[in-house]
Amino acid sequence: MEKFWRDAVEFLPILMNGVALTIVVTLGSLILSTVLGLVWALMRVSGVAVLSKLSAGLINVIRGIPIIVLLFYLYFVMPDLGITLTALQAAILGLGIAYSAYQAENFRAGIEAIDKGQIEAAQAIGMGWWLTMRRVVLPQAVRIVLPPYGNIMIMLLKDSSQASTITVAELALQGKLIASSTFKNMSVFTLVALMYLTMSIPLILLVRHFEKRAGKR
């Protein structure tokens, strides 16, 4: 145990650099996936057949492509098409696109859970589709989707480790580099696991809070 603590003191400063990049990748891709997911969801429930089918097709395609393949395509293939992204940009874009499909289904479920009578009442007093969504449906849907949204945040935090496959020096890659140079696999990867857990616990507690609030309604 004493050896582990000595290793921890030595390796933590390096691993903290990886934590910073992990947070950047997670937050960036979370914002992007939220925006895209909401767009896909609104297209699905728009009532316009073309938009609904286009959204459904995009979601199915995105869900059918492994995240690692999407990352490889953005980082290694896009330069052949004249679009060069940094590893960090490709990671945020890839994870954001991948998770937008899950966000879309989450948002769609929340929107469709709203009583149709409220939508009809809003339209009866002259509200258009977008105004009804903005003032009546979305504020209520947000409360419904918060618990699963929190779970998506946790999944995204853990999947940010896949950014290491395209050389983003986040926590997982920093750990791998240290382990390969020191051969202290147990100490390094125990630290990496504890650091991921430390970042996940606040999110887990937040999800539990949202679930309790939703259960009281």
Instruction: Give the per-residue pLDDT at 217.
Output: 57
Instruction: Give the per-residue pLDDT at 72.
Output: 96
Model pLDDT for residues 17-63, shown as the tens digit of each residue? 999 999 999 999 999 999 999 999 999 998 899 999 999 999 999 99
CA distance linking residue 44 with residue 59, whole number of Å: 10
CA distance linking residue 136 with residue 121, whole number of Å: 10
Q: Which regions of the chain are under pLDDT 50?
A: none
Residue 75: exposed, middle, or buried by beta-carbon count in 10 A (0-12, 13-18, 19+)?
buried
Instruction: Give the per-residue pLDDT at 124.
Output: 86
Residue 191: exposed, middle, or buried by beta-carbon count in 10 A (0-12, 13-18, 19+)?
buried
Answer for the pair 162, 74: CB distance below 8 angstroms, yes or no. Answer: no
Instruction: Give the per-residue pLDDT at 5.
Output: 83
Instruction: Give the per-residue pLDDT at 216.
Output: 59
Answer for the pair 153, 204: CB distance below 8 angstroms, yes or no. Answer: no
CA distance linking residue 169 with residue 166, whole number of Å: 9
Answer for the pair 40, 100: CB distance below 8 angstroms, yes or no. Answer: yes
DSSP assignment of 95-110:
HHHHHHHHHHHHHHHH
Instruction: Give the per-residue pLDDT at 131.
Output: 87
Instruction: Give the per-residue pLDDT at 214.
Output: 62
Instruction: Give the per-residue pLDDT at 116.
Output: 84
**Any idea which residue has 């259960």 for tokens?**
215
Instruction: Give the per-residue pLDDT at 125.
Output: 86
Neighbours of 89 (CB within 10 A): 14
CA distance linking residue 64 with residue 101, whole number of Å: 10
* Structure tokens belonging to residue 101: 């499909």
The pTM of the full predicted model, rounded to 2 decimals, is 0.89
Q: Give, for 58, the enclosing helix (H) or strand (E).
A: helix 49-64
